[in-house]
Amino acid sequence: MIRVAKTPSETITERKDEILNQIDSSSNKFVEQLQAFCRQPSVSAQNLGLAETAELVSKFLKETGFTVEQFSPSKGPPIVFAELSSKTGRRTLVFYNHYDVQPVEPVELWKNPPFSAIVEDGRVYARGASDNKGNIASRLSAINAFLKVTGTVPCNIKWVIEGEEEIGSPHFSEFITRYKERLTGDSAIWEFGGLDYEDRPLVTLGLKGMLYVEFRVQTALKDSHSARAAVVENPAWRLVRMLDTITDEDGRIMIEGWYDDVKPFTQEELEVIRAMPLEEHSIRDELGVKNFLYGLTGFEFKKAFYGNPTANIAGIWSGYTGPGHKTVLPSVAQAKMDFRLVPNQDPVKLAGKLKQHLVRHGFADVEVGLQAENPAARTPIDAPIAKIAARAGREVFRKEPVTLVTSAASGPMHYFTNILGLPTVAIGCNHAKSNTHAPNENQRIDVFVQGSKWIARVIEEFAKQA
Amino acid sequence: MIRVAKTPSETITERKDEILNQIDSSSNKFVEQLQAFCRQPSVSAQNLGLAETAELVSKFLKETGFTVEQFSPSKGPPIVFAELSSKTGRRTLVFYNHYDVQPVEPVELWKNPPFSAIVEDGRVYARGASDNKGNIASRLSAINAFLKVTGTVPCNIKWVIEGEEEIGSPHFSEFITRYKERLTGDSAIWEFGGLDYEDRPLVTLGLKGMLYVEFRVQTALKDSHSARAAVVENPAWRLVRMLDTITDEDGRIMIEGWYDDVKPFTQEELEVIRAMPLEEHSIRDELGVKNFLYGLTGFEFKKAFYGNPTANIAGIWSGYTGPGHKTVLPSVAQAKMDFRLVPNQDPVKLAGKLKQHLVRHGFADVEVGLQAENPAARTPIDAPIAKIAARAGREVFRKEPVTLVTSAASGPMHYFTNILGLPTVAIGCNHAKSNTHAPNENQRIDVFVQGSKWIARVIEEFAKQA
């Protein structure tokens, strides 16, 4: 059968459909890959299975066609770096993902074992299914489709997959220092992204920063009978009093100078925020919350959600926490706090302010362990990659995409935007109801497949740019 | 061989030595009984092994010669009631003990498994070895000696052994109501007592009361990503703020009217307190504490230790408490508090004041679970049983005994002093360094044997009284 010659644009269109069809037809294989990936635990906070998971993700990358190396930082698990050169395009897209996951606790709230990766109701249920193994497998599926259909990718792909994102990427700077010269590129795709509560595709252009600290108060060598509470100081009281100086009753941070360097939203950013859909009701329904802090609602809710620095008690513990009653005077009390930061706030400077605050309020004896620090990151609203991501999202999901000036979450994006100079967007295959960081985390399989298509369309359109 | 008749007082003296010798010669048997007793876990806070332990203690009592019955309250484990009539004496002494123990957590701080009851350095190491199984076995040894040497006990013994003392005796009032008529007697011996840090025998004449509460704050249906901390209230913050209203920075209780009904020490009590040895340095050394609350020292330290109501955080927990870092916004925060009360403070009334305090400070949403309540108890300094206990302690330990107006600890003694009208003293075989309620609890075997002798001498002298 003789085929009629086609114009270049027709070829692209036909190829495009072939690629999207290829993603559909290989979806079972990549869902199975995701399940295998999830069954390998990789809890960075507990140093669980990290090297094994780095091996597994390297294997997946090699099988797809990447050249893979593992960078070993001074401490911590390997960072996987993979490259795939294009035979046809000259531009370079950099992917950032992470293979580590959050702890599974409280494990009793999971319907299925957290690493069983059981498929139910069209979802893969597992810790890490959505954050972030789903995105890795979904991107592999997109790249696999290009290779299967065209024998190459339309642009060069560089891919960084680290193993400590969930604990604040403490060794990622070592990797950036060593690989800076090789990490040249034109744009970057961040680890997460997907659909909001209304199934609209989200294009996120920034992240909050993070300062994570652990407090420890010890007032005696050992626990004792609480009859002694009449004369011996209780560290839990001391921790409670110290914490109560950090925020006021509305949640505003009372550490002197905390807000000094905060860069307010630009007028353009405020316009985008105004256009952003309101997550207020979805969060209200999901969490059963009647009122938000300060009575926030509408535009003010959105501005606060995306623009406010936060001070969150992520954990607190002391004494007897089992069932029934025990009359113990504890010797140690501890708390974990995450402070989320906005652009221009420097986590190192703020850690200093926190310590000064403790001294000023008479809590110099409280030990402060700094566990992680990342500044915030922002990509300009008019960056070409932002527009490509939005257009491709509209095309794949047939819904008007939503551009987010920033996420309320955190990560080491500033290395990409500020140090490598890569305009970076967060898009992917997640869904707002995927229980990220919570029990029964899951990955919707339909969004997993559509997310592959979204990435494929972005790669193709990005490659076409001058 | 013909024995020369002896005068009654010679007979008693000789018999006395025979009884004390009998305690020595059967000590191995009763240490083994204590080990068997300790190897049966009986954690009331965790409803662990209680019925089995009630059976075991009943068996020990029957083997010694007691008539035993078990009272089953509406809820909770059996209360063991045992009687042994005297063939020679008409007076009645009532013993109170408990077969339940504190939880073993934190289990990682124990040198040996908490229920292994291993003997090391002349001590039995086990949860409950000192509090309170040691005292039960030690008393059984004393009574066994009377029966072996004289074929009877010199006075009637009634013995109450409950299984919920460590959780505030929530069902003990049911027992008292039912057995009130049968619990007539002349005096009572409380569950604990023994030697202080200087090996001086302690005679304790009272207990503080107790109000034990559990607080619970829930602000969302489930935990979520801490990025939401910008808008969603964190229950740990709310719990911290609520707790910080309960005491001031010196530990003084700020609940309105908390001190209204406090009955101060009488002049006589203050004199006894002045004569009491100072535990200050021993506590300082044991706990490695540099300063006490309010800078307390000397007489003021003692007055505070025995006379101050307390508000102790026995446990607090929320969010992620494992290793490393997790960025979670918790949905629930909880705390356990024990409030120790002094004579004339009514726990039911104070529970009401606590709830009013929460409402007044805007914390009406904080759930308050009342877990236990006991008023304080005091026996007058000049009660005959107090003097007998002190004299016998001096004789057995060859040290000047110390009379304590009250312990800083709590228990349901008020049923005996206030309801049954029994002058009650706390004496026994414990030692100040026995790690009661803490890891590596232990019973010194030498004090266990001497404690038996102390009880035996008290029984004998008590029986002689008109």
B441 to chain A: nearest residue by CA? A224
Domain annotation covers residue B84: yes
A212 to chain B: nearest residue by CA? B325
Domain shared by B370 and B385, yes or no: no
Choose the final residue of a domain: A356, A374, A392.
Answer: A374
As a whole number of angstroms, the distance between CA B323 and CA B6 comes to 74
Instruction: Give me the helix-helix angle, B27-38 and B135-150, nearest 10°.
Output: 150
CA of A164 vs chain B CAs: smallest distance (Å): 10
Domain shared by A86 and A196, yes or no: yes
Compare CB distances from B236 to A229, A286, A316 and report the shortest one's residue.
A316
A439 to chain B: nearest residue by CA? B223
- Which pLDDT score is estimated for A121? 96
- Can you tell me whether residue A161 is helix, strand or coil? strand
Task: Specify the long-range contacts of residues B262-267, CB closer than 8 Å, at least 24 apart.
Answer: B262/B309, B262/B342, B262/B343, B262/B344, B262/B345, B263/B342, B263/B343, B263/B344, B264/B307, B265/B303, B265/B307, B265/B405
Compare CB distances from B338 to A231, A308, A327 and report the shortest one's residue.
A327
- Which pLDDT score is estimated for A324? 78
3-state secondary structure A168-192: CCCCHHHHHHHHHHHHCCCEEEECC
Any A CB within 8 A of B248 CB: no
Residues of chain B contacting residue A223, judged by C-beta atoms under 8 Å apart: 106, 437-439
Any B CB within 8 A of A139 CB: no
Domain annotation covers residue B279: yes
Compare CB distances from A304 to B231, B283, B409 and report the shortest one's residue.
B231
Each residue's pLDDT tens digit, A163-208: 999 988 989 999 999 999 999 999 999 999 999 988 999 999 999 9
Which amino acid, B227? A
Domain shared by A333 and A457, yes or no: no
Give me the residue label for tokens 């090297």.
A51
- Which pLDDT score is estimated for B2? 45
Note whether B355 and A349 are within 8 A (CB).
no
Note whether B405 and B365 are within 8 A (CB).
no
DSSP assignment string, A319-334:
E--SSS---EE-SEEE
Domain shared by A147 and A278, yes or no: no
Using left for φ > 0, alpha for ψ between -120 and 50, and beta otherwise, residue A6 falls in: beta
Any A CB within 8 A of B406 CB: no
Note whether A217 and A332 are within 8 A (CB).
yes
Phi/psi of residue A293, nearest 5 degrees: -55, 145
Domain shared by A29 and A150, yes or no: yes
As a whole number of angstroms, the distance between CA A434 and CA A192 comes to 12
Note whether A458 and A152 are within 8 A (CB).
no
Q: Is the pLDDT of residue A350 over 80?
A: yes
Euclidean distance between the first and final Cα of chain A, in Å?
37
- A57: Cβ contacts below 8 Å, ≥ 6 apart: A37, A80, A99, A136, A161
CATH number at B251 reads: 3.30.70.360
As a whole number of angstroms, the distance between CA B81 and CA B158 comes to 7
Domain shared by A183 and A214, yes or no: no
Choose the final residue of a domain: A342, A374, A406.
Answer: A374
Low-confidence ranges of chain B (pLDDT < 70): 1-14, 466
Each residue's pLDDT tens digit, A419-439: 999 999 999 999 999 998 889
Q: Can you say how many angstroms the Cα of residue B205 is from the centroid of all Cα atoms in its chain? A: 13
Domain annotation covers residue B303: yes
Token pair of A167 as six digits? 């604990």
Point out the least confidently predicted range of A5-19, A373-387, B240-254, B378-392: A5-19
Note whether A207 and A376 are within 8 A (CB).
yes
Buried b (16+ CB within 10 A) or exposed e, A230-243: bbbbbbbbbbbbbb
Nearest alpha-carbon partner for B103 in B41, B50, B182: B41
Compare CB distances from A313 to B105, B310, B319 and report the shortest one's residue.
B319
As a whole number of angstroms, the distance between CA B424 and CA B207 comes to 10
- Which pLDDT score is estimated for B4? 46
Domain shared by B144 and B237, yes or no: no
Domain shared by A350 and A386, yes or no: no
Note whether A212 and A337 are within 8 A (CB).
yes
Buried b (16+ CB within 10 A) or exposed e, B267-295: eebbebbeebbebbeebbebbebeebbee
Residues of chain A contacting residue B192, judged by C-beta atoms under 8 Å apart: none
Mean pLDDT, chain A, integer: 94
Domains in chain B: how many in total? 2
- Domain extent, residue B14, equals 8-205+379-464
A226 to chain B: nearest residue by CA? B312
Each residue's pLDDT tens digit, A390-418: 999 999 999 999 999 998 888 899 999 99
Domain annotation covers residue B3: no
Domain annotation covers residue B267: yes
Which amino acid, A401? P
Residues of chain B contacting residue A288, judged by C-beta atoms under 8 Å apart: 220-221
Note whether A53 and A126 are within 8 A (CB).
no
Residues of chain A contacting residue B371, judged by C-beta atoms under 8 Å apart: 324-325
Within 335-354 of B, beta carbons closer than 8 Å to A belong to: 336, 338, 340
- Confidence class of residue A275 from pLDDT cuts 50, 70 and 90? confident
- A295: Cβ contacts below 8 Å, ≥ 6 apart: none
Residues of chain A contacting residue B105, judged by C-beta atoms under 8 Å apart: 320, 322
Residues of chain B contacting residue A210, judged by C-beta atoms under 8 Å apart: 327
Give me the residue label for tokens 């010797």.
A331
Domain annotation covers residue B1: no
Any A CB within 8 A of B285 CB: no
Domain annotation covers residue B456: yes
Note whether A187 and A422 are within 8 A (CB).
yes
Domain shared by B67 and B186, yes or no: yes
Any B CB within 8 A of A430 CB: no
Using left for φ > 0, alpha for ψ between -120 and 50, and beta otherwise, residue B198 falls in: alpha
Note whether B431 and B194 are within 8 A (CB).
yes
Each residue's pLDDT tens digit, A198-253: 899 999 999 999 999 999 999 999 999 899 999 999 999 999 999 999 999 888 99
Each residue's pLDDT tens digit, A83-140: 999 999 999 999 999 999 999 988 999 999 999 999 999 999 999 999 999 999 999 9
Domain shared by B95 and B230, yes or no: no
Provide the Cα torsion B434, B435, B439, B442; round to 10°: 10
- Which pLDDT score is estimated for B373? 87
Token pair of A30 as six digits? 């990549």
Cβ–Cβ below 8 Å for A283 and B318 = no
β-strand pairing of A332-341 with A209-218: antiparallel
Domain shared by A226 and A360, yes or no: yes
CATH number at B181 reads: 3.40.630.10
Nearest alpha-carbon partner for A188 in A8, A458, A460, A409: A458
Q: Can you say how many angstroms the Cα of residue B339 is from the centroid of all Cα atoms in its chain? A: 15
Note whether B400 and B394 are within 8 A (CB).
yes
As a whole number of angstroms, the distance between CA B281 and CA B197 comes to 10
Q: Is the pLDDT of residue A371 over 90?
A: no
As a whole number of angstroms, the distance between CA B281 and CA B272 comes to 19
Residues of chain A contacting residue B312, judged by C-beta atoms under 8 Å apart: 226, 229, 234, 327, 329
Domain shared by B293 and B192, yes or no: no
The reply to whether the predicted model has a pTM over 0.90 is no
Interface A-B, measured as beta-carbon pairs within 8 A, has a size of 322
Q: Is the pLDDT of residue A7 over 70?
A: no
A320 to chain B: nearest residue by CA? B315
Q: Is the pLDDT of residue A5 over 50?
A: no
Instruction: Give me the helix-helix angle, B50-64 and B135-150, nearest 10°.
Output: 20
CA of A288 vs chain B CAs: smallest distance (Å): 6
CA of B2 vs chain A CAs: smallest distance (Å): 58
Nearest alpha-carbon partner for B154 in B85, B102, B201, B211: B85
Domain annotation covers residue B2: no
- B176: Cβ contacts below 8 Å, ≥ 6 apart: B183, B415, B419, B420
